[in-house]
């Protein structure tokens, strides 16, 4: 996460960011890639076109996602009472 990459879940799959409204900016849900794929139709049934089809928006989101995971890493370490447990 320190490098802006998503962490891995218990099954080794990447944690993905899902836009709840299907729009960017919007509320996000951290969800395991395997679950995201499994329930994709239920999560995306109302989305007609992804904002990521727009190159400019996709690049902006990639930058946001990288910064998001870096911040989450900082928050995680900052919240640990015993840093040795935060590996």
State the greatest distance between any 2 C-alpha atoms of the chain, in Å, as a whole number.
46
Domain assignment of residue 3, yes or no: no
Examine residue 9 and state whether it is found in any structural domain, yes or no: no
The whole-model pTM stands at 0.76
The total number of structural domains in the chain stands at 1
Condensed to tens digits (0 to 9), the pLDDT of residues 2-38 reads 899 999 999 999 999 988 877 777 789 999 999 888 9
Confidence of residue 84 (pLDDT cuts 50, 70, 90): low
| Other Cβ atoms closer than 10 A to 19 | 19
Parent domain of 41? 15-85
- Burial profile 55-76: b = 16 or more Cβ within 10 angstroms, e = fewer: eeeeeebeeebeebbeebbeee
Of the candidates 15, 26, 31, the one whose C-alpha atom is nearest the C-alpha of residue 50 is 26
CA separation for the pair 87, 84 (Å, rounded): 7
């Amino acid at each position: 996460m320190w490098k802006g990459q998503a962490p891995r879940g218990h099954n080794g799959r990447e944690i993905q960011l899902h836009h709840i409204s299907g729009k960017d900016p919007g509320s996000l849900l951290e969800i395991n890639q395997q679950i995201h794929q499994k329930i994709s139709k239920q999560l995306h049934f109302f989305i007609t076109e992804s904002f990521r089809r727009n190159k400019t928006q996709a690049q902006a989101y990639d930058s946001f996602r990288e910064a998001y995971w870096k911040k989450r890493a900082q928050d995680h370490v900052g919240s640990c009472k015993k840093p040795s447990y935060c590996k």
